[in-house]
Structure 1
Amino acid sequence: MKIQNDFRKFFRIVGILALAVLAPLGRGLAAEKEKVILDTDMVELLDDGVAMMMLAQAPNIQLEGVTIVFGNTWVETGTAAAIRQLEGMGRKDIPVFMGVNEPTRKDRFAHMAEEKRLYGQNFDSHKGAAGYPRPASWQQVYRERYHREPELQPRKEAAADFIVRTIRKNPGEVTLVAIGSGANLAAALDRDPSIAGKVKRVVYMAGAFMVEGNVMPHGEFNVWIDPESARKVYRAPWTEQVFLPLDVCNTAKLSRQEYQVLTGKITQPWARAMWKDYWAGPLFQQDPGFSSYIWDVLAAAVVIDPLVITREETLPVDVNDQYGPGYGDTLAYRGFGPEGTQKARIVFAVDQDRLWPMVEKVFDRL
C-alpha cells in the first residue's frame, strides 16, 4: 500500500509540474495572435468587407475592433455596412466605432467636381462620400438597405479614442490596418502623438508612387480625398509603415473566371443580396475580358501572411498638400526625403498563388 501511495504522490507531483510548465506555454501560444484594428471606409464585400472578414476569420489575428472613417462612404453608410456584415458572419463580438466624417479642408467636397474638371479629366469620376448626400443616421441607412432592425450597435466611444486607448493598453502589439482616408489616424495622433512609437506597425492601402493615379493623374483616392490628414499620418514617427499602393493593387486583378468562382461559393441570402449589387457584376456579365481590383484585400492579406509580399522597397514618403494639379499626390524618394518625412516599406509585388486562396476561403463561408 505504501508503494502504491508513493506512486500516486509521484504522479500527482509530476502532473502539477507539467501543468506549471505547460500553462505559460499555452498562454504564450494564445498571445501569438496579432492584435489588429481595422480602420475603414467600409463597403459591402469587395473590397473593405472582404478585408474585414479575412482578418476576423484568420486564426493568427485578433480583430480588436473596426473603426469607420469617411472616404468611399460616409461614416453612417460604412457603419451600417460593417454591422450587417458582422451580423451575417455571426461575429457580433467585434466592436464597431464611428469616426471622423469630414476632410481637413471644410470646403473640400464643394470643389471636387471643379478640381477634377481642371486636372483630372479622363480619370475615374468617383468622388466617394462627396458624390451623394450625407445620410441622417446609420440606422436609417441600415433599415432602408437591409429591411430589418440591427442586432448590433456601434460603441459610443469615438474611433480615435478607441485607437489611442487600445494602443496604450497594448504597447508594441497593435497593428493598424488603414484602408480608408487618414482622418481617424490623424485624429488619434492629435489626441496622443506618442502612440506612433507604441504601435507594432501601420499597414495602408493608399497611394500611387511609381504609377498613375485612379482619380487624378497621380492621385489615389484614399489620399486625394483628404491630403492634409494623410500627410500628417505618413509623417508621424510610427514604428513601421507598410504601403499597399496602386503600384501593387493594379497587379491583383479579379478576372471574370475568378468572379464566377466566388459567385458560385455564396449560399447565404444576406451575402447573395450584397454580391448581386457589387458594382462590377454587370460589367463582368457584359464583357468576358473585363477585370476589376480588390485593393483593400491586399492590406489584410499581408498582415495575415507576410510571405504574400514578394517585392518591396523602403523609401521616404510624403503627400503633396499644396492645392493645385498635384494636390493629394503621394511621393517617394530614392535617397533623402524632405525634412519631416519618414521611411516606409512600399510593396510592389505579391504572390498571387498565396493571395487568391485567402479570398476564396472567405467566400467559402458566405
Structure 2
Amino acid sequence: MQRLLWAFLCSVALMLGGCGGDGDDGPPKIIIDSDYNTMSDDGQLGVMAAQLQAEGKLQVLGITVVSGNKWLDQGVVEALKSVERLGVGQRIPVYAGENFALSHDWATIEQELAAGAVNDGYYGAWSVSKTPPTQADLVAPSDGFATSTRLQAQHAVDFIIDAVKANPRQVTILAIGPLTNIAKAMRKAPEIVPLIKQIIYMGGAVHVGGNTTKLAEFNWWFDPEAAQYVVRQPVPQVVVPLDVTDTVLLTTPIYNRIAHGARQTAVTEQFREVMGPGFNGIGFEGDPNYTLNVWDTLTIAYLMDPKFATQVSEEYVDVVNAPGQANNGQSIGYTTQPAGPALQKMKVVQRFDNARFFEFYVDLLTRPVPIQ
C-alpha cells in the first residue's frame, strides 16, 4: 500500500512540476550499472565518467556491478581497483549486485544451443567457468588488488532504489551490462519507475544479427527475463545496440594514440595490456589492420551530447524471453505498437559521428591520473 501511495503521489507531483527535486539543473547524475572489467569497454567508460566528474560535467552516484562479462566477484575486484587507480575511490562508491540471471542458467543455455542458437559467440562469465569463482580464484589486475578502496555494504539493488528516490527524475542509469540489478530494483520497489530520468542501454541487436547467438546481443541474452521486464517499463529509454556498435571500430591509429601516445599513465598502461592483444592474441600490437567494435563507451558520449548520434529511429522495442529456445534474448524493434503487451517507444541509435566520438574518447582516456 505504501508503494502504491508513493507512486501515486509522485506521479501527481510530476505532473505539477516535480517530486522532491525534479527539474534539477546541475550536472547529470548517473548510476553506472555494469558487468565491470579492468579496461575493456566497461572499464574505459568508468575512466571517462570519472574524468567528466572531475571536470564538473556529471556526478557519478555509484557503480553497481552485475555478473556478465565476468562473474560478480571478479567484476567487483576490477571495479574497486579501477576507482582506486584513478584516485577516486572515496568519491565513486562501488556496490555488488546480482550474481545470477533471473532465470537463465547453463542448462537452459545448452538447450538453446542445441535448438540452433549457435553462433560461436561470446558467452562472458559462462566461458570462464560454469560456477562463480571462490575468493581464492579471484584474479587481480596487473597492478594488483585495491588496497584502500572498500566495497560498500549496501546491496546494489537497494542502492539503486535509494539513489533514485533521493534524486527523483534526476538519475540516468547507464545500463552497460545485463539488466538483472535494474529489474530486481524495479520489482522490489516499483515506485521508482516513474522517478527514473532515463535509461541509456548498450544492449540489443535490433535490426542486425547477434554477437552471442545468431539473434541475440550478449548483455540482453545473459538475462532475457530481466531485459524484457526493464524495456517494457514506462521510462524514457535510449538503446545503443549492435546496429551502431558494429559501425564504430577502434583502429590501430586510434589505439596507438592512447596506448603509445605522448602522455603515458596508469590508464594508458592498462589500456595497452588489455586491449593490445585483442580477442585473437595478436590484436593491435601485432596486426596493423586489426579492429575492434566499440560498445559501452558510446552510451556516455550520447549522455553528454545526443548529437553524437547522427541517425536515430524511434521504435517500440521488446526482448524475447523464451528459455531454451534458439531466439531467447533476441531484441525486436517495431515502427508501430504491436498487439500484445504494451511496449515503450524509445530512441534506437543507428549511426554515430565516429570521428568526433574518437576525439572525445582519446581525450578522456589520456588525461592525467590520479584525478585531482
Compute the TM-score of the two structures, normalised by the length of structure 1.
0.85
Q: Equivalences for 1:286-365 in 2 at 5 Å?
A: 286-323=286-323, 324-337=325-338, 338-365=340-367
Mapped partners of 1:144, 1:183: distance in 2? 25
2:214 is the alignment partner of 1:217: yes
Higher relative contact order, chain-length normalized (CA < 8 Å, sep 6+): 2
Bigger CA drift: 201-210 or 251-260? 251-260
Aligned amino acid, residue 283 of structure 1: G
Contact 2:77 2:145 in 1 (8 A): no
Contact 1:142 1:150 in 2 (8 A): no
Q: Equivalences for 1:160-309 in 2 at 5 Å?
A: 160-238=157-235, 240-265=236-261, 267-269=264-266, 271-273=268-270, 275-278=272-275, 279-280=277-278, 282-309=282-309
Aligned amino acid, residue 202 of structure 1: I
Mapped partners of 1:356, 1:273: distance in 2? 18
Give the 3-state SS of the residue equivalent to 2:259 in structure 1.
Answer: helix
Deviations 1:14-34 (A, max 9, x none): xxxxxxxxxxxxxxxx95211
Mapped partners of 1:320, 1:72: distance in 2? 21
What is the Cα deviation at residue 105 of structure 1?
A: 1.6
Pair 1:217–1:142, CA change in 2 (3 A): closer
1:44 to 23, 38, 52: 38
What is the Cα deviation at residue 274 of structure 1?
A: 5.4
Mapped partners of 1:226, 1:327: distance in 2? 9
Mapped partners of 2:244, 2:218: distance in 1? 15
Mapped partners of 1:193, 1:333: distance in 2? 26
Give the 3-state SS of the residue equivalent to 1:243 in structure 2.
Answer: strand
Stretches of structure 2 that go unaligned for 5 or more consecutive residues are 1-23
Aligned amino acid, residue 95 of structure 2: F
Mapped partners of 1:258, 1:275: distance in 2? 12
Mapped partners of 1:84, 1:293: distance in 2? 25
Bigger CA drift: 271-280 or 40-49? 271-280
Pair 1:74–1:145, CA change in 2 (3 A): farther
Contact 1:208 1:329 in 2 (8 A): yes
2:66 is the alignment partner of 1:69: yes
2:75 to 67, 74, 78: 78
Contact 1:142 1:149 in 2 (8 A): no
What is the Cα deviation at residue 262 of structure 1?
A: 1.5
Stretches of structure 1 that go unaligned for 5 or more consecutive residues are 1-29
> What residue in structure 2 maps to residue 125 of structure 1?
121
What is the Cα deviation at residue 116 of structure 1?
A: 3.1
Contact 1:167 1:195 in 2 (8 A): yes
Deviations 1:154-178 (A, max 9, x none): 1010101101101111111100000
What is the Cα deviation at residue 260 of structure 1?
A: 1.5
Bigger CA drift: 95-104 or 265-274? 265-274
Aligned amino acid, residue 335 of structure 2: R
Deviations 1:273-315 (A, max 9, x none): 4531335162223432221012001011111222211111111
Report % sequence identity. Answer: 29
2:92 to 94, 98, 102: 94
Contact 2:228 2:321 in 1 (8 A): yes
Contact 2:80 2:94 in 1 (8 A): yes
Question: What's the Cα RMSD here?
Answer: 2.1
> What residue in structure 2 maps to residue 33 of structure 1?
27
Mapped partners of 2:256, 2:39: distance in 1? 15
Structure with greater helix share of residues: 1
Mapped partners of 1:248, 1:220: distance in 2? 12
